Copies of this chain bind each other. A is one copy, B any other.
Amino acid sequence: MRILGVDPGLRRTGFGVIDVDGPRMRYVASGTIVVPTDDELGPRLKVILDSLREIIREYAPQTSAIEKVFVNSNPTSTLLLGQARGAAFCALVDCGLGVQEYTALQIKKSVVGTGRAAKEQVQSMVQHLLALDGAPASDAADALACAICHAHAAPLADRLRAAGVLDQPAFGRRGTRMRNGRMIGNP
């Protein structure tokens, strides 16, 4: 299973792609979409939309995970951040990807073991878990951490299927249907 993780922001949007094969995780790609700050809002959102669609075309992930952005007390900043996140979300759903949302707390707990982890700890654990030569830059590390969190949280069925243990699409009782790796009950 190939997962795209996204850490959205209006100035910098991080992305990270990993392959998950049973308990194993493999780094595929990561980076930061740097959005020009001197442009108007429309062109800035278009950079996020187009860049993420390009990344999806390039790496063909099967699913995606996006960080729930930090809501701060400044409504104008929150609105701008919301718009950036809306653009990132649009790129994912426009390419037909399922999207799972995780809070920073969930991601840190999943990757470092504690929700109080510092940025450097996240970078360091991402480097360790993906056996990278160096620590990725902060935004890319957050996006990779988001993808790793999804790999840990994704139901067993996903991982079994990715490992080839499970045939598509039947799982469990006859007639059980799957959507985004989740059983959606008997019809």
Contact = CB atoms under 8 A, between A and B. Distances in A.
Contacts of A143: none
A71 B107 CA distance: 29
A45 B93 CA distance: 8
Interface in A56-107: 69, 71-73, 75-76, 78-87, 89-90, 92-94, 98-99, 101
A175 to B, nearest CB: 24
Contacts of A36: none
A41 interface: yes
Interface residues of A, number: 31
A85 B72 CA distance: 18
Contacts of A42: 89, 92-93, 98-99
Contacts of A72: 75
A49 B90 contact: yes
Contact of A81 (B43, B71, B82, B99): B82
Contacts of A94: 46, 49
A45 B76 contact: no
State the number of copies, please. Answer: 2
B92 A89 contact: no
Contacts of A69: 79
Contacts of A99: 40-42
Contacts of A82: 78-83, 85-86
Contacts of A86: 45, 82-87, 89-90
A46 B85 CA distance: 13
Contacts of A43: 93
Nearest to A94: B49
13 contacts: A40-B99, A41-B89, A42-B89, A43-B93, A46-B94, A71-B76, A72-B75, A73-B75, A78-B78, A79-B82, A81-B82, A83-B83, A83-B85
